[in-house]
Amino acid sequence: MKQGDVILTPVSQADGKLKNRPAVVLREMPSYGDLLVCGVSTQIHQYIEGFDEIISPGHDDFNTSGLMSKSLIRLGFLAVLPQSRILGSIGSISYQRHRRLLENLSNYLLESSTRTVQ
């Protein structure tokens, strides 16, 4: 797996059941090869402007993504997974979209580090 790949992985649902869901590989973590991923959903109403990314059939990288319909790439739904939990790759997003996701996440983390937690 490489950065920007759209993968399938089992994800726990609210009811505790596992369901195979798409996710985007953001980065391989040091030492053990675990992957930092963010979830992909068709629940567009969960979109957070300036943070998440929407990918739809009109976008240049939609066909290469392997996604079936307009989807939300959710930076608020992060996980670190061992590669053994990855069922496979279904496609990939563009370098530009991947870069925006990393920048949005990085900017949020840096901005938030100056605030105090209450």
Q: pLDDT, tens digit, for every residue of 22-67?
A: 999 999 999 889 999 999 999 999 999 999 999 999 999 999 999 9
Residue 96: CATH number of its domain? 2.30.30.110
The answer to whether residues 78 and 62 touch, using CB atoms and an 8 Å cutoff, is no
User: Containing H/E element for 110?
Assistant: helix 95-112
Q: Do the domain assignments include residue 117?
A: no
Residue 114 has pLDDT above 80, yes or no: no
Number of domains in the chain: 1
Identify the domain containing residue 25 by its residue range.
5-112
pLDDT of residue 116: 55
Q: What is the distance between the alpha carbons of residues 43 and 67, in angstroms, rounded to a whole number?
A: 14
All residues at 6 or more sequence positions from 102 whose CB lies less than 8 Å from its CB, including other chains: 26, 27
pTM: 0.90
Q: Do the domain assignments include residue 19?
A: yes
Q: Do the domain assignments include residue 118?
A: no
